[in-house]
């Protein structure tokens, strides 16, 4: 039996027309001799009546703040509605199907409401349905504790559900359906030259997500990577091949000439650069204080007399209060953006940083700070130059 996981996001189940396209994808897989296990998100976004945010707003306005246990119970409703709808539509088309909650599908989690993690799988019921040629339609984003309490998996939860089930069922692949043709080399809203990446490694996807790209959630990639199951990002509304996420892209390109040093470019807006002078009267290590305040810092450079790093705009007031409390002298630069070039093939290749600097200089983009790893090079620039910077990298590295 060739099991595949097909996950459909909120936009894919939001309208009657979209749901018909979902059915077409499921039936197509079935007709090709595959055994699909379907995972669905809640229908659309606010103000859609069945969207998760709509349900949450209704209870908050009616009854006030919600305890974590009831919060998870409420948030599980949207996906259950989607699962019942898709299963019923399949039945009406002559395809036996069954709607399942996350717990009924065998996802057993810890007790951490709102951000539960998988403890173990109990997928015997799903396997029995598959053996009987019944299509399981699973409510994403949720699981169940050993005690039978409903839990939710946090941000990106339906993607995570699909990846969990893929590993537990030893699926052939996991298809994540959305409203785009795949993962792109950059955000097309800031770079007209951005295009679909045919194949990308798990590690590169991690780096893109961590650097600000709106791609699949890292937790889902982590589960798929553990089981070494390919993830495919596809479009519900087209027949595009999509993007394959695999352990290694070696051998997937047609020739060595197709192998590019950089795979993609991500960016994160709303960064502030702080330059902080050393304090001779320092009572406590600054970085330790920053960590205790739950302030995430990036692009860290430490020198004998000062430190330079960036934070998110929303943490500005918190950090300034801290610096003033301990009498630090500092300057800050707002309106910054971190642009990150990502590619496993840059490891050990000389001259990549030089090419990035030359490309930015030619485009009139000033680089304020840099940081690099084996597979990434991050550059801090002004937000006003983000489009020019990303376009310049596409041209320099022939993306």
Binding-site residue numbers for substrate are 52, 79
Per-residue exposure over 205-232, b if at least 16 CB sit within 10 Å of its own CB, e if not? bbbbbebbbebbbbbbbebbbeeebbbb
- CB-neighbour burial class of residue 47 (10 A; exposed 0-12, middle 13-18, buried 19+): exposed
Instruction: Give, for 378, the enclosing helix (H) or strand (E).
Output: strand 376-382
Query: Which residues are annotated as part of the binding site?
Result: 7-10, 52, 79, 178-179, 189, 214-215
CA distance 185 to 171: 28
Q: Are strands 306-312 and 297-302 parallel, antiparallel or unpaired?
A: antiparallel
Query: Which residues are annotated as part of the binding site for ATP?
Result: 7-10, 178-179, 189, 214-215
CB contact at 8 A, 39 and 33: no
CA distance 342 to 346: 8
- CB-neighbour burial class of residue 374 (10 A; exposed 0-12, middle 13-18, buried 19+): exposed
* C-alpha 308: how far from chain center: 28
CB contact at 8 A, 263 and 200: yes
Residue with tokens 């989607």: 82
Instruction: Give, for 323, the enclosing helix (H) or strand (E).
Output: helix 316-325
H-assigned helices in the chain? 16-31, 52-63, 68-92, 124-131, 157-168, 202-210, 218-227, 286-292, 316-325, 352-363, 386-396
CB contact at 8 A, 337 and 266: no
């Amino acid at each position: 039996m060739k099991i595949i996981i097909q996950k459909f996001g909120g936009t894919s189940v939001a309208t009657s027309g979209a749901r018909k396209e979902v059915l077409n994808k499921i039936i197509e897989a079935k007709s090709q001799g595959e055994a699909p296990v379907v995972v669905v998100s809640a229908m659309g976004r606010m103000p859609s009546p069945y969207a998760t945010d709509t349900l949450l707003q209704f209870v908050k306005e009616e009854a006030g703040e919600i305890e974590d246990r009831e919060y998870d119970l409420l948030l599980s409703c949207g996906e259950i509605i989607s699962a019942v709808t898709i299963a019923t539509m399949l039945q009406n088309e002559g395809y036996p199907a069954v709607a399942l909650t996350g717990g009924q599908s065998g996802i057993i989690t810890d007790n951490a409401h709102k951000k539960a993690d998988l403890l173990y799988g109990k997928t015997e019921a799903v396997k029995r349905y598959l053996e009987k040629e019944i299509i399981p339609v699973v409510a994403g984003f949720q699981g169940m504790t050993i005690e039978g309490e409903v839990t939710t998996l946090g941000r990106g939860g339906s993607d995570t559900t699909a990846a969990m089930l893929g590993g537990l069922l030893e699926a052939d692949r996991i298809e994540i359906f959305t409203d785009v043709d795949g993962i792109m080399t950059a955000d097309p809203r800031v770079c007209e030259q951005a295009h679909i990446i045919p194949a990308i490694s798990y590690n590169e996807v991690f780096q893109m997500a961590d650097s600000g790209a709106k791609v699949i959630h890292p937790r889902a990639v982590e589960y798929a990577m553990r089981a070494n199951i390919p993830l495919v990002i596809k479009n519900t509304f087209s027949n595009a091949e999509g993007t394959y996420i695999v352990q290694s892209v070696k051998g997937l390109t047609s020739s060595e000439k197709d192998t590019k040093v950089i795979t993609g470019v991500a960016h994160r807006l709303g960064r502030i650069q702080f330059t902080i002078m050393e304090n001779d009267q320092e009572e406590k290590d600054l970085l330790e204080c920053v960590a205790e305040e739950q302030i995430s810092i990036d692009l860290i450079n430490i020198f004998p007399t000062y430190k330079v790093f960036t934070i998110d705009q929303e943490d500005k007031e918190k950090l300034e209060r801290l610096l003033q409390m301990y009498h630090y002298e500092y300057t800050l630069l707002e309106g910054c953006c971190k642009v990150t070039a990502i590619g496993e093939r840059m490891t050990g290749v000389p001259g990549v940083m030089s090419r990035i600097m030359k490309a930015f200089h030619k485009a009139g983009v000033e680089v304020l700070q840099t940081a690099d790893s084996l597979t990434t090079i991050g550059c801090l620039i002004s937000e006003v130059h983000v489009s020019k910077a990303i376009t310049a990298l596409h041209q320099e590295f022939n993306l």
